[in-house]
Structure 1
């Protein structure tokens, strides 16, 4: 079993320090969390930024500042921005974020962009033209079917073949389970896939995904705050360290 890349998603769009005191909100805490997670074994970071009121933001300036600071402060950690709407942003605003930031890597929700399907071809063309690597977000089988349709029609370029399968849901709360991946596997033909999972079975879901050939395992407080034994993780870095250690034991 080849070792997948471990990505940490340390905060997300919705949670705050009331949910966990070690959840990073500002740039300083994000950099410190990134350093600790990189030392613990994370290869990449899924980046969210917040505005001055700690709300989810797609602000171009804030993203540029955060990317520059993280590249300087945690060299060697691959960075991915989110374009998540989180009920706040339109597809055009998501497009403007990608165009303005010009990130090396961005996650893009298929169903969010499909709110303005006429924009989809322009968005994926923009990413191809400016060299932005795309990771599609799929919440269920219908999203994967949409992705395969867009690939067949040429809306999504052949090189844009990465997808992250989200197991479970944030709202209404639904914990992911390892079995949630099984019905999605036939729809992943020709795709490289990652997995993240909401709830206390996160680690079990990720280890099961590794056995099924996942290229990337995404772990962190965006999706889950508790260890497999039900206790609260002390930090994102502890979640990364535990996943890495359990994968290595399973692979040995």
Structure 2
């Protein structure tokens, strides 16, 4: 790890940031009953994942019919469900579902998360299009700076790594001064979930980046996790990204996925960060 990407002195260098993404916006409750889609289920999930080693939780919110929503009162209810029961860092998705309008996605910050996702470009997402035009990216970024919400820059391909350089050059650093990004790999339409693709992405990161994690979608989950650990990166896991623990065996709960990568981290001599360490690491207010 280069000098400018070292962790703050208050966070030991062997720490591993584990983010859990428990729900997502794509999977239907009817197809996966164990998916947490209510505040009560989310609270139980957050507690179990915190105990398993997660430090941050990435939230997509569902309504009373278990459908994806960006309704502000529900966003606040889900944020409160986590904060009332754990000390996890709360990160809200500003992506919503691929069908959500851009103006509603900007309003996510009104729910006052500590962190938010910020995707650095438009991506073919299976049969759909995940729209992130440049004017939206810049407006969301400046709003996050004003609100002192720390963004996690989501990178689906190498062009988005270049876009991150462009954004930082034009608008400066996020609140807190640290730059954390997450490679989302294995999405149909994005970069493949391979070690070679991750190496290419990390080599292309701008010097301002202080930390990075990686997420492997579906069958790429383990390959990406192992590659990230081998390169000193961090991890995001959860039922948003994968629904099987191995071929043909459904995931029972999100904590099962967190437990698995915490064990992989132990083999790599990495210790899961606490939420307070994650706050120092990411410069979260």
What TM-score bracket applies, with the shorter chain setting the length? Answer: 0.7 to 0.9
- The correspondence of residues 127-138 of structure 1 with structure 2, limited to 5 A, is 127-138=144-155
2:94 paired with 1:83: yes
For 1:107-145, what per-residue CA distance to the aligned partner results, in whole angstroms no more than 9, with x for missing partners? 021225974433443322221121111111110001111
> Which residue of the other structure, out of 95, 100, 107, is the alignment partner of 2:117?
107
Tell which deviates more after alignment, 7-16 or 203-212: 203-212
Alpha-carbon contact 1:48-1:81 (below 8 Å) kept: yes
| Offset at residue 154 of structure 1 (A) | 2.2
Aligned counterparts of 2:193 and 2:133: Cα–Cα separation in 1: 29
| Count of aligned positions | 248
Deviation at 1:85, TM superposition (A): 4.0
**Could you tell me how far 1:194 is from its partner in structure 2?**
1.4
* TM-aligned CA distance change 1:212 to 1:201, over 3 Å: same
Q: Of 237, 246, 249, which aligns to 1:231?
A: 249
Q: Does structure 2 retain, via aligned residues, the 8 Å contact 1:121–1:155?
A: no
Match of residue 2 from structure 1:
14
Match of 1:243 in 2: 261
1:166 pairs with 2:176: no
Check if 1:15 corresponds to 2:15.
no
Pick closer, same or farther for the CA change 1:175–1:226 going to 2, 3 Å.
farther
Q: Which moved more, 1:148-157 or 1:182-191?
A: 148-157
> More displaced, 115-124 or 199-208?
115-124
Kept in 1: contact 2:56–2:90 (CA 8 A): yes
Structure 1 residue 151 and structure 2 residue 168: aligned? yes
Correspondence for 2:5: none
Relative to the length of structure 2, the TM-score reads: 0.79
Match of 2:125 in 1: none
1:184 to 176, 196, 201: 201
Q: 2-side partners of 1:130 and 1:53: how far apart? A: 31
Distance 1:87 1:118, change over 3 A: same
1:198 maps to: 217
| Structure 2 CA distance for aligned equivalents of residues 246 and 82 of structure 1 | 26
Superposition misfits of 4+ residues, deviation over 6 angstroms: 172-175
Deviates more, 1:63-72 or 1:152-161: 152-161
Alignment root-mean-square deviation, CA: 2.5
**Matched residues in 2 for 1:18 and 1:176: separation?**
28
Query: Once the 2 structures are TM-superposed, how far is the Cα of residue 238 of structure 1 from its aligned partner?
Result: 1.0
Moved more, 194-203 or 224-233: 224-233
Partner in structure 2 of residue 141 of structure 1:
158
Change (3 A) 1:67 1:196: same
Relative to 1, partners in 2 of residues 1:150 and 1:203: Cα closer, same or farther, differing over 3 Å? same
